[in-house]
Structure 1
Amino acid sequence: MSLEAGTAYNTNDFNWSIAGNLEGSSPNILSELKFNKIKSLGYYLKSNYTTLTYLKFFAFFQQNKVINGNGSDIDYKDDNRTNPTFENNFISNKGDFVSFKGGIGTPIRLSTKINITAALFYYLTKQKFYLLSNEIQDLRSTYKANMQGVEISMKGDIQLNKIIYSSLILNYHLVNYKAEANWNLIDIFQQPLSFSHISNGTGFGVSVLLGCNMSKMFSIVVSGSLNTTTIKKGTDISYLITENEISTQFNGAKSILYGLSLGIRTSF
């Protein structure tokens, strides 16, 4: 069994858009939001437990607070991002990021120094983005993106020498996507739920870890990761103060998430 805890840093580039109607036209991109370099800092906890020689359980939790970022919100009149009718740059230096993952895997020993582990996970990721402005003090719109689904991973561990070890993890995930927005300064929308997005998608990731044994029980670990997720076309539902609902095509979303972490691992 091993336990690991440390500090985590993420940078996320995230964008989405909608069309003017359910057919994806009038125009094909009506509104587009981009969140650029959303930086967050926090902590993570990780554990694994081997019950048998061929069965291993995993758990992971991370929680960050957003510390910096910006973005843009542009509306268009015509197709292919032409004739913009509204354009606003905003600050996004507030928000939350939470990630949970739990799974089970089968370790395979290839040699005394090399192991591989195939694993299946359930995962849940939540990120709350803010749209803020120094010029418009009342602007406090939010967009909460929730992703959950199944992840398949392959991990390779290698003992480089008596002190240094390394791991490489490749994963592929299926995503159920749901987002909720509160556009607090747009009078035609209800609050706190102004509109929602529902869709699904896929993604992949790669992580590299390097560890250094400080004793028989403790080691220092540093890791870096890259995860990309592509959300397909879905449905955008706007909730108006008239209690009417308007549906249009959600064109999808794209997330590129970079991660760095530094922690201490204990094994027993």
Structure 2
Amino acid sequence: MPSIAWNQEKLDWNIAGDENGKNPNVLSELKWRKLRGPELGISSVVTLSPEVEAMVSISHFYITQGIVNDSDYASDNRTGKTADFDFKADRGHATSARAEIYYSIRKTEKFCLAAHTGYFGRYQTLYMLDGEQPLVVGKELKSTYKPRWHGIILGLNTAYHVDQWHVWMGISGLYFPRYSANANWNLQEEFNHPISFTHKAKGMGWEAYLQLQRQVAKAIYPFLQVGYTGLTTRTGTDQLFKTDGTSLTTQLNDVNSSSFRIGLGARIQF
């Protein structure tokens, strides 16, 4: 099943001033918004038995539009703002991969309810770039933030078909994904490079999708699909590395990520 989609994503994170989540409770906050661009994907399903199927899928998202805001605070609850910058984020990419097993709980001639479980991974590269005016005259802002999500998928999928029409609806709970990220703040001379700081946390999330297919030939089913994914973390750690060899650990308060996509594709049946 090859497909092409238009995707829009956002991601934000914030840290506290110390390991206990204080001084202040929000020290720095980054928000990537309106990350848009095309997404190419392909998936394959193999029938193992009348009740069991295996699926493998991979997709790649090319970021062509986007903005990012960088804000710092001196006091609790995002007061005493000490910095507030808007930058471009119209570069970057994300790759998603998953492998799953589907088991049919109930199956009739027109309806199927299946449970599925498997493993997923999502690997992003986000940029923070100069706008019309450079942040530092004579230097180019080209900082990167690279999030990584991976974990177990659990969910349900329903399928219904009548005549040449097929409808798939599904929801997945992503339980206990691991989150990690590393960043390269290229203009911060006191920070280490290429890894200026790292993030680690545990999280959770969910995904829902709808796919509508119509049979146009014996083995060809063009389809329209829409999907939404939401991921979030609990508190974690932020570890900053300096050029003098020292490091500083503070609390990562949370990370929030979401994605909405709409696209077209075709199922080719062998």
Equivalences for 1:132-211 in 2 at 5 Å?
A: 132-134=129-131, 135-136=133-134, 138-159=140-161, 161-174=162-175, 175-211=177-213
Quote the residue 1:80 is aligned against: 77
Note the C-alpha offset of 1:40.
2.5
Identity of counterpart residues, as a percentage?
Answer: 27
TM-score normalised according to structure 2 size: 0.96
Q: Which runs of 4+ in 1 moved over 6 A?
A: none
The alignment partner of 1:189 has SS state of coil
Q: List runs of 5+ in structure 1 lacking aligned partners.
A: none
Q: Which amino acid aligns with 1:86?
A: A
The alignment partner of 2:267 has SS state of strand
Distance in 1, Cα, partners of 2:267 & 2:35:
28
Q: Which amino acid aligns with 1:255?
A: S
Distance in 1, Cα, partners of 2:254 & 2:148:
14
Q: List runs of 5+ in structure 2 lacking aligned partners.
A: none
Distance in 2, Cα, partners of 1:53 & 1:220:
24
Deviation sequence 1:81-138 (CA, Å, 0-9, x none)? 0111111101100001100000112124432100111111100001111001132260
TM-score normalised according to structure 1 size: 0.96
Quote the residue 1:125 is aligned against: 122
Note the C-alpha offset of 1:55.
1.7
Equivalences for 1:1-268 in 2 at 5 Å?
A: 4-134=1-131, 135-136=133-134, 138-159=140-161, 161-174=162-175, 175-268=177-270
Distance in 2, Cα, partners of 1:60 & 1:114:
24
Distance in 1, Cα, partners of 2:94 & 2:6:
10
- How many equivalent pairs are there? 264
Distance in 1, Cα, partners of 2:244 & 2:13:
26
Q: What value does the CA root-mean-square deviation take over the aligned residues?
A: 1.0
Distance in 2, Cα, partners of 1:166 & 1:133:
45
Deviation sequence 1:217-257 (CA, Å, 0-9, x none)? 00101110111111110000000001101000000111111
